[in-house]
Structure 1
């Protein structure tokens, strides 16, 4: 249970190359799709390195769902991307930056094209985390979104219920997710 921080290479070793997944018919293709999905972000970072001043577009990548389970053949990769809003602002309007919107417009389209079901959280570094009365609206939104998805990736859907949406009964942490450092 909880969030586990690992490198991108460690994630590949654990979720794709591990012996227990050598007979998987989906994991390698899904991992390649994740690479292809992330590539435009990395290309923007390289292209606008000067404007970004060392900031990454993707602060962290959270992987959850069946891809981080023992399921042999998951159907997709559930990914939450923490996009650094400072970096995003620095390249908005520049050629190629439309990807920052397109990448999150249609989860169904991204799942079909890349095998990735992406969600976006606008990351903001906040120094005064214990002084909530000083939070800006953007900081409140960031903490709310981060908390919601952190909570969700630790829940298990209850199998014996018709409605498998989040509930009080499913609120206790029962699984974990990976925070991938790019």
Structure 2
């Protein structure tokens, strides 16, 4: 994916692949793509990348990967990181980063059969490229 899209600066890796499970079932990956690179991609490329990161596509192609592509927000001063000052795309980028951060840290199945995450937290590895 990084060869196709370019400018992926960070990758979050999690899931049972990075756990102590003797037979891990998959690896969870979030590709964090610089805003400038993401914004240069045309609609066809974004659709292709979205399909490439679909769990069903990965399973159909014998890949044990649950992958997501997230647009990083533009670089800005911390003083500009107020919700009321953010443009729509930047706000969505921060929202998506927070969503996947929360998702990868949740322990699934820990609180019963309804699928709600438990209080326990796990982690993921951030790889800088």
TM-score by length of 1: 0.58
| Contact map agreement 2:10 2:128 (CA 8 A) in 1 | yes
- The superposition leaves residues 59-100 of structure 1 with CA deviations (integer Å, 9 ceiling, x where unpaired) of 211111111111122122111111223113335379x77643
Pick the aligned partner of 2:107 from 152, 156, 159.
156
Distance verdict in 2 for CA 1:159–1:109, change over 3 Å:
same
For residues 101-116 of structure 1, the aligned pairs below 5 Å read 101-104=50-53, 106-113=54-61, 114-116=63-65
Note the alpha carbon deviations across 1:144-168, whole angstroms, 9 max, x for none.
11111112222212435111233xx
Aligned residues of 2:27 and 2:65 also touching (Cα < 8 A): yes
Q: Does 1:66 align with 2:49?
A: no
1:125-154 per-position Cα deviation (integer Å, ceiling 9, x unaligned): 331443322101111111111111112222
Residues 151 and 173 in structure 1, CA contact (< 8 A), matched pair in contact too: no
Residue 123 (structure 2) pairs with residue 176 (structure 1): yes
**TM-score, structure 2 as length reference:** 0.78
Larger RCO: Structure 1 or Structure 2 (Cα < 8 Å, ≥ 6 residues apart)?
Answer: 1
**Structure 1: stretches of 5+ with no match in the other structure:** 1-37, 46-55
Q: Deviations for 1:4-36, whole angstroms, at most 9, x for unmatched residues?
A: xxxxxxxxxxxxxxxxxxxxxxxxxxxxxxxxx
May I ask how many residue pairs the two structures share in their alignment? 126
Structure showing the higher helix proportion among its residues:
1
Q: 1:137 to 1:99 in 2, by over 3 A?
A: same
Query: Which 4+ stretches in 1 moved above 2 angstroms?
Result: 88-94, 96-102, 128-132, 157-160
CA shift for structure 1 position 103? 1.8
Structure 2 spans left out of the alignment, 5+ residues: none
User: 1:155 and 1:75 mapped to 2: Cα distance?
Assistant: 17
Among candidates 69, 78, 83, match of residue 33 of structure 2? 83
Q: Alpha carbons of 1:61 and 1:111: their partners in 2 closer, same or farther (altered >3 Å)?
A: farther
Give me the CA root mean square deviation: 2.5
